[in-house]
Amino acid sequence: MQSVTGLAAAAAQSTAQTTAEPDRAYWLRILQKVADPVLRNLAAGTLRKNMPVECVTGNPVDRAKYTHLEAIGRLLAGIAPWLEADLDPGPERDVQQRYRDLARAAIAHGADPNSPDHLNFHEGSQPVVDCGFLAQAILRAPTELWKKLDPAAQRNLVAGFVASRAITPGFNNWLLFSATIEAALAAMGQQWDAMRVDYAIREHQQWYVGDGLYGDGPQFHWDYYNSFVIQPMMTDVLRTIPARTWDRFKADVAARAKRYAAIQERIIAPDGSYPAVGRSIAYRCGAFQVLAQQALLGNMSKSRAALSAVIHRTLDASGTFDSNGWLTVGLCGHQPHLGESYISTGSLYLCSAALLPLGLKPSDPFWTAPPEDWTARRLWRGEDAPADHAL
């Protein structure tokens, strides 16, 4: 057991980390560190050549069929709001423009059937997952990642999304990947299948178990899939598809997401750690996508310090990146046996989902307000606070 002195030292280290560099500058530095290997290689057509396929408990040859789409889909889902943000002229916007260009070039190469980096959109079952994440990126950055694509890239991307319909999703959170693909096709002005959206949304209403949480299918799983997939995708789908009968679900979905974000804020420990429970823990700070998304939507404006602490805790540890800058399997450093059989290098880029609030302009109160300690830090140093209540 860690001593009281050890806990104090960890908390002090976290405080030093989060105050040594302005939060937005740190987040931008992390964004570039995470994104560079993926975007620069795929934009150049060298992703398959240069990206490692770390897969400890599974089959690396099999995972190599999927890992590249995983990397670009998950990365762009997290950084899309920043790519779409209307920034004022200055150094950050200059960096943003470079990444916009890289992202479009990466999508063009990945969707091009003649590219050495052509992505697998339909073989096996995994591609429906990462087509879903790539589609979510389109929903979050429709101008930069869709409207500004050249016509050939647009046609190829549509073909890739349509090809993914060959995959039957599992009777669980996977229904939302299909729904998100269809929502993106609708946003892209293409024919889309309303039934896939309807099925996913209605089933998840049946799977709601209370206090802001859904089951992953008919059963509840104590993991972070409410944040990795379920709540963010329902939120984005319902916010972007044309008005339909699903409008009646919007208020409940929004209220549940706010409650789950509040729970997420409360489980962040004073040192920025959090319970390592459930599968896919190697997605690191991506476990807090709901909290990050609610901050982006203006509902958790005082969560910056909490999210910064989690990002520091999961992405600053020694061994998190290999010698060439690629993410390694782990939660806090390189911990390869935390990776399930479906985890490979590309899977890990869902950590970028914690960066969603970068889509808020630097002048937004999320960034300009003084950092506020999160609930656990206040309570565990003895401060009084209102009791928590279920939804």
276 within domain boundaries: yes
Q: Give tens-digit pLDDT for 16-30.
A: 444 579 999 999 999
pLDDT of residue 367 exceeding 70, the answer is yes
CATH of the domain at 75: 1.50.10
pLDDT in tens, 147-166: 999 999 999 999 999 999 99
Q: Do the beta carbons of residue 313 and residue 14 sit within 8 Å?
A: yes
* Inside any domain, residue 388: no
The answer, yes or no, to whether residue 84 has pLDDT greater than 80, is yes
- Please report whether residue 367 resides in a domain: yes
User: Given a cut of 50, is residue 10 above it in pLDDT?
Assistant: no
To the nearest whole percent, how much of the chain has pLDDT over 90? 92
Tell me, yes or no, whether 161 lies in a domain.
yes
Asked, for residue 137, whether it belongs to a domain, the answer is yes
Whether residue 43 is contained in a domain is answered as yes
Residue range 331-347: mean pLDDT, rounded = 97
Q: Is residue 390 part of a domain?
A: no
Residue 385 lies in a domain: no
The pair of structure tokens assigned to 32 is 């570039």
Residue 5 is predicted with a pLDDT of: 41
Q: Which domain holds residue 152?
A: 4-379
Domain count, the chain: 1
